[in-house]
Chain A
């Protein structure tokens, strides 16, 4: 279970870093792409930035769900 805990934690960390650094790398290397206006008042960069925030919410939610159901039940068993 310890291995499963770290596997889930590390995959989610890698997912968060991929999403975030994808965004940062675009800021670093392709500013014109992010500056492209896709709707009046909305650039691609703003949309992606907001999506990174949403991704952070979704990933924390996935982790809490997983840990509260699977991990805690197992740890509860260990304590007894």
Chain B
């Protein structure tokens, strides 16, 4: 049967084609990557539609494509809760974060937080928050890649993880942000085109009316598939999940970094508009794909291939489009993982080199050449780390790891970033305390939750009933920042806030 570990020639050819194209882009980009600014931000020369597609590409990870389609296929309506939550984060990013970030920073979001606070403590704290998010997101992508390649190409899991790490390393190391952006754009276009075509092939069987498809699903599996089900049983958990999904987007380092690749605030704003349109359209498609798989393939066949339902979209492609189309969709899914891993590694390298090495170790006095060298060394270290994590966490649930990354991003990075932009009285101590409390409370709550205690560690009971930490840890991070800042005020830092306001609006 297709998709159960038999090497698929079409998939392999498409995949090799993508690798060849992306490496050609990397060779071209390598010539334009001579300075730290070109490495981190492609010299700030990316246009609005390019950045919009790249943002969408960064966001439409394998977790959203395979995961949400699988979630819809196995539980119906509940998948929509995730799609909606992930999308509504984008308007918030646009209204509150995108333009100030573009105008106040250079390479990392810590630039904005540290703009008027004490550099070293703030950058160290932000680095902890960023690296925690990147690590969990990397685990999710690497585990997903390993499983996918094993299922699609018949390669061993470990070999797949090493290939992903190696190819990603080539993109980032030589091509920097230029290569990463273009790989992301190519992948976003392929993914949108592939998903659209697949949805059209599905809808062709239902008179091009999605309602006929949904009605057929309801006839086969009951009206339950059209209504909220088992995914969010507890009201507080539903709110908690919603908060983390919405606010996590605004705290993802690899997304925030993209706002530095455009020339000005207006372009940043317009690019988020394109990204929101593309991502929303894509999520509507995955909803159709999920229901299509549920009806055409059938739930038992989907969960038989992969218990989490992650193979629903590729299986559907095989059913409606034959082996060739299956190969194409599989290759696109794999390209998706590669591109997202590259974006993550690049933002991790920026954090290690720009925040930690240049501004903490070297007191802000390293030249561009040294910064670039350190960033490249950091990229190699991150690629090795990604491979190690991928092998170590084999068998973990992919969607859950991504959820974890969002929860940490929303608790550790989002509160500090928003307060540093909006609240003049935020102090260094407040920012550092908030980042640490946000990061570690999110980690602690996740560790004590049923998802780890019962599902992973196989204990009888968990210390907490809450599965998603956001409802506690996000407000907690805000409260800590505000209380610490008010208890130990720093009038000098507040004065600098007003000096920065002009730059926040004009970028000058």
Contacts and interface: CB of A to CB of B under 8 A. Distances in A.
Interface of A: 1-2, 5-6, 9-10, 12-13, 16-17, 19-21, 23-25, 27-29, 31-32, 34-37, 39-43, 45-46, 49-50, 52-53, 56-57, 59-61, 63-64, 67-68, 72, 75, 78-79
Contact of B214 (A20, A25, A41): A41
Contact of A35 (B92, B215, B227, B506): B227
Contacts of A56: 87-88, 90-91, 276, 280
26 contacts: A2-B505, A9-B96, A12-B91, A16-B95, A17-B246, A20-B85, A23-B84, A24-B238, A25-B238, A28-B232, A28-B234, A34-B227, A41-B218, A43-B223, A45-B227, A49-B83, A50-B284, A52-B87, A53-B280, A56-B276, A56-B280, A60-B91, A60-B272, A61-B273, A67-B269, A75-B505
Contacts of B87: 52-53, 56
A6 B80 contact: no
B39 interface: no
A41 to B, nearest CB: 3
A29 B233 CA distance: 9
Interface string B206-249: 00001111111110000110111000101110110010001000
A39 B226 CA distance: 11
Instruction: Give 10 closest A-B pairs by Cβ, nearest first.
Output: A35-B227, A41-B215, A41-B214, A28-B235, A28-B238, A43-B226, A41-B211, A24-B242, A9-B95, A49-B80
Nearest to A12: B95
A34 B92 CA distance: 25
A9 B77 CA distance: 31
Contacts of B94: 60, 63
- Main SS of the interface on chain A? helix
Interface string B273-301: 10011001001100000000000000000
A68 B270 CA distance: 9
B495 interface: no
Given A2-B501, A53-B280, 8 more contacts: A13-B95, A29-B235, A37-B226, A41-B212, A49-B83, A59-B91, A64-B270, A72-B266
Contacts, number: 149
B266 A21 contact: no
B225 to A, nearest CB: 9
B488 interface: no
Nearest to B223: A37
A56 B236 CA distance: 24
B160 to A, nearest CB: 34
B506 A31 contact: no
A60 B227 contact: no
